[in-house]
Amino acid sequence: MNPTPSFSNPRSSFSTSVPVLARQTQGPKTDRRITMIRYHLHHPKTPRPLRFSRLRALRHWTIHRAAQLYLHAQRRRQELELERQYNAMRAACEELRVGLDDGGRLYRQATTRKGLFGGVKMEGEIVGNGGVPIEYAKAQVEGPPRGGWDHAWTR
């Protein structure tokens, strides 16, 4: 005698309806991201993809790779040049700070920002633009002014 009861379906479902009918009523779930990708891929204004023969694809890849390597080398050279300039400036500042026998006085005077943007008080009135950097004193614009260059303008 078998102590366990036998079922026609070993897995019990949460629904009493037939599973096939339940799947048919829900319909397929569409992902919005996939829909947007398909929309933009097959949009009328999207250019057709490049289709090259094997030899032309190899030429295209070789030229593209060479251009990428050239640009990488150029960026690296510029980065090394900036690093060299930065290190030279840092060494010069360090030499000013500790190399002279003035206790760093020249370094402090060279790096002070007091009165840098004007606004220095002379004879009871402020001379300059009141401590505002010149970049902020004039409006930042993309093109030249209508009146041309103002030669009489001073800080």
Q: Which of 107, 100, 129 is nearest to 117 (CA)?
A: 129
Distance between CA atoms of residues 68 and 79, nearest Å:
16
Alpha helices in the chain (DSSP H): 19-26, 32-41, 54-94, 105-111, 134-137
Phi, psi of 125 (to 5 degrees): -130, 155
| The pLDDT of residue 61 is above 80 | yes
Q: Tens of pLDDT along 71-113?
A: 999 999 999 999 999 999 999 888 888 877 788 888 887 777 6
pLDDT recorded at residue 13? 57
Interior angle at CA 28, CA 27 and CA 33, nearest 5: 140
